[in-house]
A and B are shown apart, each in its own frame.
Chain A
Amino acid sequence: MIINHPLLGPRDASEFVHMGDASLMHRPDPKSETAADDFYRYQYLRDNPAGLYAELWFHEQGDRSWLVVTRNTLTHEIIDVQLARHIARQKS
């Protein structure tokens, strides 16, 4: 598998460590009244799509950036790769 790093170009997947669903980027507000339930969903409830799926990868043997990879779980085609920090900064 090849991940096209937004800054470094195509790299072999063996340089990366997989973390899981990209929804992990959106940590709930711990001060909210529904925090306990929000964190339960955040930590444990997942969709399992046959198709496009966004996931987090860590470029451990590279620049140590976290990346959000959008991949088709049926065809394995990767349609998008972004720096997680960009998405996170835009959100905050």
Chain B
Amino acid sequence: MSLVDFDAPINFKFNGKALQGFDGDTLASALLRNGVKVVARSFKYHRPRGIMAAGSEEPNALVEIHASGVCEPNRRATTIKLFEGLDARSQNFVGSVDRDLLAINDLLSPFFAAGFYYKTFMWPRAFWEKLYEPIIRRAAGLGSIMKTPDPDSYDKGFLHCDVLIIGGGPAGLLAALNAGEAGKQVILCDEDFILGGRLLSEDIDVDGTPAADWAKLTAHRLMMMPNVRVMKRTTVYGVYDHGIYGALETRRDAIGLKTPRHILWRIYAKTSILAAGATERPIAFENNDRPGIMLAGAARTYANRFGVTLGDNAALLTNNDDGLRTSARHVLDVRGGESVVNTKGRSGVKSVTLNSGQSLPVDGLYMSGGWNPNVHLTCHKRGRPKWDDVLSCFLPDAGNLPADMKVIGSANGAFSTQAVFDSANAACKTLGIKAAMRPKSEDAPVKVTAFWHVKTKGRAWVDFQNDVTAKDIALAHQEGFSSVEHVKRYTTLGMATDQGKTSNVLGLAVLAQASGRTIPETGTTIFRPPYTPVPIGAFAGAHRGTHFKPTRLTPSHKYSAEQGATFVDTGYWKRAQWIARPGEKGWRDSVDREVLTTRGSVGICDVSTLGKIDVQGKDAGKFLNKVYVNTFSTLKVGRCRYGLMLREDGIAMDDGTSARLSKTHYITTTTTAKAGPVYRHMEFCRQVLFPEMDVHLISTTDQWAQYSVAGPNARKLLEKIVDPNFDISNEAFPYMACGQITVCGGTRARLFRLSFSGELAYEISVPARYGDALIRALMSAGEEYGAALYGTEALGVMRIEKGHAAGNELDGRTTAAHLGLGGFVSGKKDCIGKVLSAREGLNDGVALVGFIADNPKDTLHNGAHFSAELGKAGPNEDLGHMSSVAYSPELKHWVGLGFIAGGKSRIGETVYARDFVRNHHVKVKIVSPHFVDPDGERLRG
């Protein structure tokens, strides 16, 4: 009944040795068939380990997959589908897996008992950093991590269904068939690459045919249904709120190919059926971890599904009837008083010692301590499973399942194949889904007697992967860590990559016995997603490198790049920071030139990134009065006005200018960074706070390309662009005017006479489809004036020279008064933030002023704090801080803006600017924040 295709050989390597397997093998089955016994070394003691299980619960056989210089660690050999060219290697050894030099840890085991790291490596203190930590780092962990980028690609997706069926064994297959025939949208997921679950491994019949054949036929029927989506090698790893499930689909194990290796799916399901089956328990006895000691069900899987001959002289240790299905020469049933007290054979079990004292030579040992329903997903929403004394296992708590989840099959304690099928049909019935068929199969009664461990002074393994023994659990209890949560963390039981699938229940049973409690009294820890490990790359999907976040490009991006601009990331935007010209040696050369050219002739800057919000309605002006501290309803049509926006707690949120295009039409601008939050805030005011107003908002940030044209020649340049029927003379279009115009022979445009730089300046905007053409036209028109394209650095220098507040000043702590705009707040009307802006304590006399160095050669540092004197500088000496600094090419020295107690009343005084981070302390003079053209004559020219 083997499902391996012996006509399709596959060549692979294990630890450098060339071996052969077949299509349908896992790495584990192929290794066993090739007689490989030692596959790994255990975590702490570096004991030789073999393959213990056949599925994702495997604790021992962790390997690395290698391909073209990269390595994926911690893969279970049992879940790697064998592929041509697989290069698999053992991990966690020094030397070779067969002769691990770190096996000395096994001899030192008394020093590595549970909690040893809380008791050792403490003294002397100095040894920790230089000696202990490096040693522990090298020895710790299982696999090793690559330091090179992950060469694989991953994807993510979203699926919707009526019924999500988790598990494709007999229960899941039948439920899927029923739901599919009933016309539901069905998704069926199974972690294996063949559907069928235990049907693939047991020598039983369904409706008179071999179970594996029934599985194959049913799977085929399902794959033919257009309303059923069968997803193999797909693990539903987590249950989330409101019917959302996380699933990881593994496309292949080969590394470094072009197509995605894993796909992470978010599944939205109206209802779900958990058919996740059950996992077998080992029994704890001394030296129960040797290679060749395996779970009984796994032995049947290897024999039946994979056609591996395991050996003809094996012993079986069982506490239940299901274990008796396994072929073994020697059957030891604990219910008859027999048990195993020890084993021999370091590289492969050679003999077992019975409790009678007899020593039995064997070539393998199979153990079955009973089966644990896989209840994990029922607990992801903090459900706790309930102990069943008769079945000797935990069952899902039917009263506390994640919304709408039904549990069927052995996941719900139905163990005979007939009981499994019946439970599937019964659950479907409660969902209003008819049974499509009623298969008949074996119906053996469950007979199990609880038997957890054979008491010994030696080491009896409970958690094989983290090397936790029954002795460790007893020690934890003895030291006072008796709560199951403490035992878990003190011993690390259940904390390895297998998350205790073969050890949790055994461990808490051992704890219960050691502490004289029942299992229900001892309780369980909480199961959390993911059920099995999920690669971090899968969570990232395609969002890596340049696709980690969106990139927004301005309308002049292409042109700026052609001109050699250096770009800076501002949120999602790429903005030109400076545009170097040939011969310039550093960014200061470029920035100084851009500033001097703009102030001396004309400069052009892309300001499209600033938020532009279209505000229309009868009450548009009234609305803006509510969100800004100053008044906009009085703004004339054809004029702009600066506005300051507060948060309701009185702190400055954002600033910008609003232009009035008509009685009912304003364009409001925001800073680049605050475009999203301001829009959100304005919609909150519109929809929730002032719903009676007729006002409508929409973002037009991407709709319009907008360029600043600034400098003494700005008007002359624009007169070459603006169509002649529009008068932009100083008289017709004064400072702060705005209007709708056309440019370049009829193209629609808007012109705003605004100046951030303090020069004679305009902002001109066109629909973004013309943005590229306009920047080229402006630069071409500007050639005769030596126009410079300028970036965010020059923009910043010029606004600092003028004392304009920007993001550094509107930092979420400052008020209108701090910014020197206290008088700007209208006394005649309410606005957001008005009431709390007047509260005591907020107005502390700190205000924005200018700073220059006492010695003109000194540089100024952003972030420096002011104190009256040098020397001690603590909170009591702190007078404020420097918020923005720049080198002024016009004044030929550094200028700064900052907040100081006493504000403008201190102009003329000197203080010290203290930067302890960069150890730079400078004597500074307090001056007006308006450094260049302080009377604003250039603006109005």
A residues in contact with B830, CB < 8 Å: 30-31
In the assembled complex, the CB of B702 is this many whole angstroms from the nearest CB of chain A, namely: 15
4 nearest A-B pairs in the assembled complex, by CB-CB distance = A2-B242, A30-B830, A85-B687, A88-B691
In the assembled complex, the CB of A1 is this many whole angstroms from the nearest CB of chain B, namely: 5
Residue pairs across A and B with Cβ atoms less than 8 A apart, 18 shown, are A1-B242, A2-B242, A2-B243, A10-B242, A25-B688, A28-B835, A30-B830, A36-B835, A36-B838, A39-B648, A58-B680, A66-B684, A66-B687, A76-B242, A76-B381, A88-B688, A89-B691, A92-B692
A residues in contact with B680, CB < 8 Å: 17, 58, 60
In the assembled complex, the CB of B677 is this many whole angstroms from the nearest CB of chain A, namely: 9
Known: A12-B266, A40-B839. 18 other contacts (CB 8 A): A2-B242, A2-B243, A2-B268, A12-B244, A25-B689, A27-B689, A30-B834, A36-B836, A42-B648, A56-B684, A64-B683, A66-B684, A78-B242, A84-B687, A84-B688, A85-B687, A88-B689, A89-B691
Cα–Cα distance between A40 and B692 once the two chains are bound (Å): 25
B residues in contact with A30, CB < 8 Å: 830, 834-835
Partner of A43, one of B244, B676, B836: B836
In the assembled complex, the CB of A65 is this many whole angstroms from the nearest CB of chain B, namely: 7
A residues in contact with B479, CB < 8 Å: none
B937 at the interface (CB under 8 A from A): no
Cα–Cα distance between A3 and B679 once the two chains are bound (Å): 22
Within 8 A of B (CB), among A1-55: 1-2, 10, 12, 17, 19, 24-25, 27-28, 30-31, 35-36, 39-40, 42-43
Contact flags B669-687 to A (C-beta < 8 A → 1, else 0): 0000000100010011001
B649: nearest chain-A partner, CB-CB: A43
B residues in contact with A1, CB < 8 Å: 240-242, 244
Cα–Cα distance between A19 and B681 once the two chains are bound (Å): 10
A residues in contact with B689, CB < 8 Å: 25, 27, 88
A14: nearest chain-B partner, CB-CB: B266
Interface size for A (C-beta < 8 A) is 32
B residues in contact with A58, CB < 8 Å: 680, 683-684
B839 touches A43 (CB 8 A): no
A residues in contact with B683, CB < 8 Å: 58, 64, 66
A residues in contact with B240, CB < 8 Å: 1
In the assembled complex, the CB of B28 is this many whole angstroms from the nearest CB of chain A, namely: 39
A residues in contact with B241, CB < 8 Å: 1-2, 76
Within 8 A of A (CB), among B822-845: 830, 834-836, 838-839
Cα–Cα distance between A78 and B244 once the two chains are bound (Å): 14
B244 touches A19 (CB 8 A): no
A66: nearest chain-B partner, CB-CB: B687
A residues in contact with B835, CB < 8 Å: 28, 30, 35-36, 39
Cα–Cα distance between A31 and B689 once the two chains are bound (Å): 15
Within 8 A of A (CB), among B633-681: 648-649, 676, 680
A residues in contact with B648, CB < 8 Å: 27, 39, 42-43
Contact flags A48-92 to B (C-beta < 8 A → 1, else 0): 000000001010100011100000000011100000110011001
Partner of B688, one of A31, A35, A64, A85: A85
B residues in contact with A25, CB < 8 Å: 688-689
In the assembled complex, the CB of B10 is this many whole angstroms from the nearest CB of chain A, namely: 42
Contact flags B216-252 to A (C-beta < 8 A → 1, else 0): 0000000000000000000000001111100000000
B839: nearest chain-A partner, CB-CB: A36
Chain B positions within 8 Å of A, measured between CB atoms, are 240-244, 266, 268, 381, 403, 648-649, 676, 680, 683-684, 687-689, 691-692, 830, 834-836, 838-839
A residues in contact with B838, CB < 8 Å: 36
In the assembled complex, the CB of B119 is this many whole angstroms from the nearest CB of chain A, namely: 39
Cα–Cα distance between A76 and B242 once the two chains are bound (Å): 8
B residues in contact with A28, CB < 8 Å: 835
Cα–Cα distance between A12 and B689 once the two chains are bound (Å): 26
B829: nearest chain-A partner, CB-CB: A30
Cα–Cα distance between A77 and B402 once the two chains are bound (Å): 11
A residues in contact with B268, CB < 8 Å: 2, 10, 12
A residues in contact with B403, CB < 8 Å: 77
A residues in contact with B691, CB < 8 Å: 85, 88-89, 92
Cα–Cα distance between A30 and B683 once the two chains are bound (Å): 20
A39 touches B836 (CB 8 A): yes
Cα–Cα distance between A63 and B798 once the two chains are bound (Å): 39
Cα–Cα distance between A19 and B691 once the two chains are bound (Å): 18
B699: nearest chain-A partner, CB-CB: A64
B residues in contact with A19, CB < 8 Å: 684
In the assembled complex, the CB of B543 is this many whole angstroms from the nearest CB of chain A, namely: 13
Partner of A40, one of B242, B244, B676, B836: B836
Cα–Cα distance between A50 and B84 once the two chains are bound (Å): 56
In the assembled complex, the CB of A14 is this many whole angstroms from the nearest CB of chain B, namely: 10
Cα–Cα distance between A92 and B688 once the two chains are bound (Å): 10
In the assembled complex, the CB of B378 is this many whole angstroms from the nearest CB of chain A, namely: 15
In the assembled complex, the CB of B813 is this many whole angstroms from the nearest CB of chain A, namely: 16
Cα–Cα distance between A60 and B268 once the two chains are bound (Å): 21
In the assembled complex, the CB of B665 is this many whole angstroms from the nearest CB of chain A, namely: 20
B689: nearest chain-A partner, CB-CB: A27
Cα–Cα distance between A84 and B688 once the two chains are bound (Å): 6
In the assembled complex, the CB of A78 is this many whole angstroms from the nearest CB of chain B, namely: 7
Cα–Cα distance between A15 and B649 once the two chains are bound (Å): 27
In the assembled complex, the CB of B185 is this many whole angstroms from the nearest CB of chain A, namely: 15
In the assembled complex, the CB of A57 is this many whole angstroms from the nearest CB of chain B, namely: 11
In the assembled complex, the CB of A80 is this many whole angstroms from the nearest CB of chain B, namely: 14
Cα–Cα distance between A78 and B830 once the two chains are bound (Å): 36
In the assembled complex, the CB of B607 is this many whole angstroms from the nearest CB of chain A, namely: 24
In the assembled complex, the CB of B676 is this many whole angstroms from the nearest CB of chain A, namely: 8
B242: nearest chain-A partner, CB-CB: A2
Partner of A2, one of B244, B381, B649, B692: B244
In the assembled complex, the CB of B619 is this many whole angstroms from the nearest CB of chain A, namely: 14
B403: nearest chain-A partner, CB-CB: A77
In the assembled complex, the CB of B629 is this many whole angstroms from the nearest CB of chain A, namely: 13
In the assembled complex, the CB of B682 is this many whole angstroms from the nearest CB of chain A, namely: 11
Cα–Cα distance between A84 and B685 once the two chains are bound (Å): 11
B266: nearest chain-A partner, CB-CB: A12
B residues in contact with A39, CB < 8 Å: 648, 835-836
Cα–Cα distance between A25 and B649 once the two chains are bound (Å): 15
Highest count of chain B CB atoms <10 Å: which of A31, A39, A92: A39
Cα–Cα distance between A1 and B838 once the two chains are bound (Å): 40
In the assembled complex, the CB of B497 is this many whole angstroms from the nearest CB of chain A, namely: 28
Cα–Cα distance between A58 and B243 once the two chains are bound (Å): 22
Partner of A65, one of B242, B266, B381, B687: B687
In the assembled complex, the CB of A27 is this many whole angstroms from the nearest CB of chain B, namely: 5
Given contacts A2-B244, A35-B835, contact A88 B687 (CB under 8 A): yes
B residues in contact with A24, CB < 8 Å: 688
In the assembled complex, the CB of A41 is this many whole angstroms from the nearest CB of chain B, namely: 11
Cα–Cα distance between A40 and B650 once the two chains are bound (Å): 11
Cα–Cα distance between A25 and B684 once the two chains are bound (Å): 9
A residues in contact with B649, CB < 8 Å: 43
In the assembled complex, the CB of B827 is this many whole angstroms from the nearest CB of chain A, namely: 13
B838: nearest chain-A partner, CB-CB: A36
Given contacts A30-B830, A36-B839, A39-B648, contact A66 B244 (CB under 8 A): no
A66 touches B688 (CB 8 A): yes
Cα–Cα distance between A40 and B830 once the two chains are bound (Å): 16
A58: nearest chain-B partner, CB-CB: B680
B residues in contact with A78, CB < 8 Å: 242
Cα–Cα distance between A47 and B657 once the two chains are bound (Å): 38
In the assembled complex, the CB of B831 is this many whole angstroms from the nearest CB of chain A, namely: 9
Cα–Cα distance between A64 and B698 once the two chains are bound (Å): 10
B residues in contact with A31, CB < 8 Å: 830
In the assembled complex, the CB of A90 is this many whole angstroms from the nearest CB of chain B, namely: 9
B residues in contact with A88, CB < 8 Å: 687-689, 691
B268: nearest chain-A partner, CB-CB: A2
Cα–Cα distance between A40 and B676 once the two chains are bound (Å): 26
Cα–Cα distance between A24 and B680 once the two chains are bound (Å): 14
A91: nearest chain-B partner, CB-CB: B691
Highest count of chain B CB atoms <10 Å: which of A42, A43, A77: A43
A residues in contact with B684, CB < 8 Å: 19, 56, 58, 66
B residues in contact with A40, CB < 8 Å: 836, 839
